[in-house]
């Protein structure tokens, strides 16, 4: 159990150093309203603040501590995809209505220090009430998305000392790209984190005007009578005018955000393409290495067969002194078959001459 300091008082919030910006950038009245719901805690190195797939019960505002959002990758203790200090908060998805952490992600303390903690339900209720806190959290969401995009691009474009399997990198990068694509889609429809922003409202108005204008034009073309055609044409013209107005607001508020997200998507897709090329080259290198190994194995097999054949031939040839001894023994055995006598018959001849 982490030791907790007493709840932060109003004077504490006014004088504390290393304060979290989402809290200390608020007007005095909102800070005073939040103070009773904040509690100071000490975070230690490697403390898991939010666990994979678990319910988010608390939202953390780092003071002097720093935490990381990590994604689980096979063969590692987690790949860092974002870092949060006193500029932000932990448990940001609560502001989107998501109170459970992604099953592949977790939040861990990387630099020990203090943080303010608030009950997640209380935090959600304060956001729903509107005010400066809601606006600041939306602004921080935009910065957080940018940080994730930069981290995605860096993970894809920069190699590490011990390269991982490109397939794992591609899977991880595509996962991050899906998040950015979802944010881009939500921006165009004015949903999710963009719902209460100027960019989101401009996106909603433009999307709705386009749909209505296209529908009215289609109905005018397919109308049965001239009165009906005239009615739908007027309706289409009115929606076209509204679309032009919405487009003007979109260019001011929505287009910059859309351009930034599109840039992140382009960087990420380029990184995926580079990883795919690297993977293909790796496969080709492995295939070439296998071919060389197979060739060497075949050469070794041929060499071993040649050695075995040579040994067989050598086994059929006696050593010189052994061959000489065998030849002498063979000659003596052959002479024995001809009634060989060591005195060459001399004794027998002399015996005949002496009358023996």
For each of the domains in the chain, give its residue range(s) and CATH number, in order of start.
1-130 (2.60.120.10)
Does the pLDDT at position 213 exceed 60?
yes
Q: pLDDT digit string (tens) for 58-109?
A: 999 998 889 998 887 665 567 788 888 888 899 988 888 888 988 888 999 9
Residue 100 near residue 42 (C-beta atoms within 8 A): no
Does the pLDDT at position 112 exceed 70?
yes
The Cα 198–Cα 18 span in angstroms is 31
Per-residue model confidence (pLDDT) at position 159: 44
* Average pLDDT taken over every residue of the chain: 76
The Cα 198–Cα 78 span in angstroms is 36
Q: pLDDT digit string (tens) for 54-68?
A: 999 999 999 888 999
Per-residue model confidence (pLDDT) at position 129: 85
Q: Three-state DSSP class for 153?
A: helix
Could you tell me where the beta strands, DSSP code E, fall in the chain?
Answer: 4-7, 39-43, 48-50, 58-62, 66-71, 79-84, 105-111, 113-119
| C-alpha pair distances (Å), 27 with each of 11, 20, 78, 159, 215 | 14, 14, 38, 45, 46
Share above pLDDT 70 across residues of the chain, in percent, rounded to a whole number: 67
pLDDT tier, 122 (very low <50, low <70, confident <90, very high otherwise): very high
Per-residue model confidence (pLDDT) at position 54: 92
* Order of strands, sheet of 79-84, starting from the edge strand that comes earlier in the sequence: 48-50, 105-111, 66-71, 79-84
Q: pLDDT digit string (tens) for 254-282?
A: 888 888 888 888 888 888 888 888 878 77
Does the pLDDT at position 179 exceed 80?
yes
């Amino acid at each position: 159990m982490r030791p907790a300091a007493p709840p932060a008082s109003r004077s504490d919030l006014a004088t504390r150093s290393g304060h979290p910006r989402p809290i200390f950038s608020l007007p005095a009245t909102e800070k005073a309203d939040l103070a009773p719901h904040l509690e100071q805690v000490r975070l230690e190195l490697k403390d898991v603040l939010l666990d994979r797939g678990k319910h988010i019960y608390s939202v953390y505002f780092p003071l002097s501590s720093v935490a990381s959002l990590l994604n689980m990758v096979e063969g590692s203790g987690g790949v860092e995809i974002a870092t949060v200090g006193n500029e932000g908060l932990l448990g940001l998805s609560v502001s989107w209505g998501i109170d459970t952490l992604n099953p592949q992600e977790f939040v861990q303390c990387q630099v020990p220090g203090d943080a303010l903690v608030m009950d997640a339900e209380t935090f959600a209720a304060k956001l729903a009430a509107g005010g400066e806190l809601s606006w600041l959290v939306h602004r921080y969401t935009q910065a957080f998305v940018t940080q994730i995009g930069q981290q995605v691009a860096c993970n894809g474009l920069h190699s590490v000392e011990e390269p991982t399997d490109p397939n794992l990198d591609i899977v991880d990068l595509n996962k991050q790209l899906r998040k950015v694509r979802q944010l881009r889609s939500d921006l165009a429809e004015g949903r999710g984190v963009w719902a209460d922003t100027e960019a989101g409202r401009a996106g909603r108005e433009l999307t709705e005007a386009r749909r209505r204008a296209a529908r009215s034009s289609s109905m005018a073309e397919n109308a049965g009578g001239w009165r009906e055609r005239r009615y739908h044409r007027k309706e289409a013209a009115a929606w076209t005018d509204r679309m032009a107005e919405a487009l003007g607001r979109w260019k001011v508020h929505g287009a910059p955000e859309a351009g930034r997200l599109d840039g992140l998507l382009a960087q990420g897709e380029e990184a995926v393409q580079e990883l795919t090329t690297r993977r293909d080259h790796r496969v080709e290198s492995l295939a070439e290495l296998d071919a060389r190994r197979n060739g060497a194995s075949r050469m070794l097999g041929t060499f071993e067969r040649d050695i075995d054949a040579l040994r067989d031939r050598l086994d059929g040839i006696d050593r010189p002194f052994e061959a000489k001894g065998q030849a002498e023994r063979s000659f003596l055995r052959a002479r024995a078959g001809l009634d060989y006598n060591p005195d060459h018959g001399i004794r027998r001849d002399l015996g005949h001459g002496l009358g023996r």
